[in-house]
A and B are shown apart, each in its own frame.
Chain A
Amino acid sequence: RKEVEQDPGPFNVPEGATVAFNCTYSNSASQSFFWYRQDCRKEPKLLMSVYSSGNEDGRFTAQLNRASQYISLLIRDSKLSDSATYLCVVKPGNTPLVFGKGTRLSVIA
């Protein structure tokens, strides 16, 4: 079983739509969780950390379910500029980050 699994997409959504991505992780000892964003032909950049109680940053909401070992990202009121690949990232203890393969989002006018 892969350590971090994501639906590769693509998710094609119209502007203004709400879209949600899920990610599952296999290591129950994982301590820290993140969503990174990667634009086409660019490097990944941190979008947001994911906290146990869930957290929001503007139109973006991240949630963590430790019991089921999944993380979600919700994007409300999608913009064209949200088009990117979203990487689910997990830190299993004192080891390097583990990256999912990413979910591609295309927001269409």
Chain B
Amino acid sequence: DVKVTQSSRYLVKRTGEKVFLECVQDMDHENMFWYRQDPGLGLRLIYFSYDVKMKEKGDIPEGYSVSREKKERFSLILESASTNQTSMYLCASVAFGENIQYFGAGTRLSVL
């Protein structure tokens, strides 16, 4: 069974902290994605990666960075968390050439 695991379901951080959100998939997928989801705004793509050590900016990359050192792991980094980054963060993966995206359960981040 397909599995995308996000390290935390809930996270509370303070303004200015460096935050790491981890995502691991066990399906040997090449492509991985980070989204944030906010009420009324839907899913917005932050960054994605088509291969190890590769990254591409999505629609809203400002304030975020990513790391893909291993194929199965894609990390989202908030260098200096701000209150407007309070959101639900969703990781997803998909095999190369395929279209069906599998999501993790999400991390609900609150920045105080």
Spell out A's residues near B (CB within 8 Å): 8, 32, 34, 42-46, 49, 87, 91, 96-97, 99-102
Partner of A101, one of B42, B45, B103, B106: B42
Chain B 33-55 interface residues, beta-carbon cutoff 8 Å to A? 33, 40-43, 45, 48
A44-B104 contact in complex given A96-B33, A96-B48, A96-B58, C-beta closer than 8 Å: no
Q: Contact check, B99 vs A99: say whether CB atoms are below 8 A apart.
A: no
Q: Contact check, B42 vs A102: say whether CB atoms are below 8 A apart.
A: yes
Q: Contact check, A34 vs B104: say whether CB atoms are below 8 A apart.
A: no
Indicate if B8 sits at the interface (CB-CB under 8 A).
no
* Closest partner residue, chain A, to B58 (CB atom): A96
A46-B42 contact in complex given A96-B33, A96-B48, C-beta closer than 8 Å: no
* Closest partner residue, chain B, to A31 (CB atom): B99
Q: Contact check, B40 vs A101: say whether CB atoms are below 8 A apart.
A: yes
* Those 6 A-B pairs whose CB atoms lie nearest each other, nearest first: A101-B42, A43-B103, A99-B43, A32-B99, A46-B100, A43-B106
Q: Contact check, A100 vs B103: say whether CB atoms are below 8 A apart.
A: no
Q: In the complex, A49→B33 CA distance in Å?
A: 20
Q: In the complex, A21→B8 CA distance in Å?
A: 34
* Closest partner residue, chain B, to A36 (CB atom): B101
Q: Contact check, B100 vs A43: say whether CB atoms are below 8 A apart.
A: no
Q: In the complex, A42→B41 CA distance in Å?
A: 16
Interface-centre pick from A46, A87, A97, A102 (highest chain B CB count, 10 A) = A97
Q: In the complex, A39→B101 CA distance in Å?
A: 16
Indicate if B90 sits at the interface (CB-CB under 8 A).
yes
Q: In the complex, A34→B45 CA distance in Å?
A: 17
